[in-house]
Structure 1
Amino acid sequence: MLTAHDSPYGASERLFNALRLAAALLKQGEPAEVRLFLASDAVYAGMRNQLRPDGQYNVEEMVRSLLDAGAQITLCQTCVDHRGLFGAALIPGVRIGSMMELAEWTLSSDRVLGF
């Protein structure tokens, strides 16, 4: 399980690296269950049709690719609400979850990495 907190675009590449690691895990020989819980400004990564800065990686394409490969991607409900994004258009397959769900994922995961 991976958690990320930074915005999709800007000075930090933490979210970008979390998405890259998730993709690498899904490409390993043994099937891996990959779950991403996006909190704080990372919730923006789950939104459709974002304008991205010139020359930047395309977060929406990365998220869609992960979902197509079987990853589960959940956005923190409180963080979505706090940013006024309730009802925003999500990338199909991205869902909204709670801290209780994050707690359950944490307890049931072999490894948890935070970005």
Structure 2
Amino acid sequence: MKILFVLHDPPYGTERTYNGIRWARQMLEDDVNEVRVFLFGDAVAAAAAGQKTPDGYYNLGNMIRGLVSRNADVGCCGACLDARGINEENVVTGAHRSSMKELATWTMWADRTINV
């Protein structure tokens, strides 16, 4: 199954983006699934490189790298990155600057779209 996750919330302060990433990771446990994750709005900060979190606290940058290592595609809304002063060089390895055009293509690709 081809699954698109669209995440909107900030990386910290709520657990919606954290749980969306966990859900995407779980869907990759079944080797027949393909997963793509699109980060909108404040969720693009989840892909920021160099996050420093307290010991024992989840780090969404590391979690996104884990998704990418399992062949998930992770796109970050370009306009959202710009609005937050995050350039493409400052996102974790494997995540990329994306666009509404790519999101539209991914939406058509997906069997299921999960909007978190």
**Matched length:** 113
1:49 aligned to 2:50? yes
**CA displacement at 1:51 relative to structure 2:** 2.2
Aligned counterparts of 1:17 and 1:107: Cα–Cα separation in 2 = 24
Aligned counterparts of 2:12 and 2:57: Cα–Cα separation in 1 = 8
**CA displacement at 1:77 relative to structure 2:** 0.2
Q: Which position in structure 2 is the counterpart of 1:89?
A: 90
Instruction: Provide the TM-score with structure 2 as the length reference.
Output: 0.90
Q: Which position in structure 2 is the counterpart of 1:34?
A: 35
Instruction: Provide the TM-score with structure 1 as the length reference.
Output: 0.91
> Could you list the runs of 4 or more consecutive aligned residues of structure 1 that deviate by over 4 angstroms after TM superposition?
none
1:13 aligned to 2:15? yes
Structure with the bigger percentage of strand = 2
Deviations 1:9-28 (A, max 9, x none): 11x11101110011100002
Q: Which position in structure 1 is the counterpart of 2:6?
A: 3
Using the aligned pairs only, state the percent identity: 40
RMSD: 1.3
Aligned counterparts of 2:64 and 2:113: Cα–Cα separation in 1 = 19
**Which SS does the other structure have where 2:34 is aligned?**
coil
User: Residue type matched to 2:109 in 1?
Assistant: S
- When residues 87 and 112 of structure 1 are mapped into structure 2, their CA distance, relative to the original with a 3 A threshold, is closer
**CA displacement at 1:94 relative to structure 2:** 0.6
Q: Which runs of 5+ in 2 are unaligned?
A: none
Q: Which position in structure 1 is the counterpart of 2:70?
A: 69
**CA displacement at 1:53 relative to structure 2:** 4.6
**CA displacement at 1:55 relative to structure 2:** 4.2
Comparing 96-105 with 53-62, greater Cα deviation is found at: 53-62
Aligned counterparts of 1:69 and 1:25: Cα–Cα separation in 2 = 11
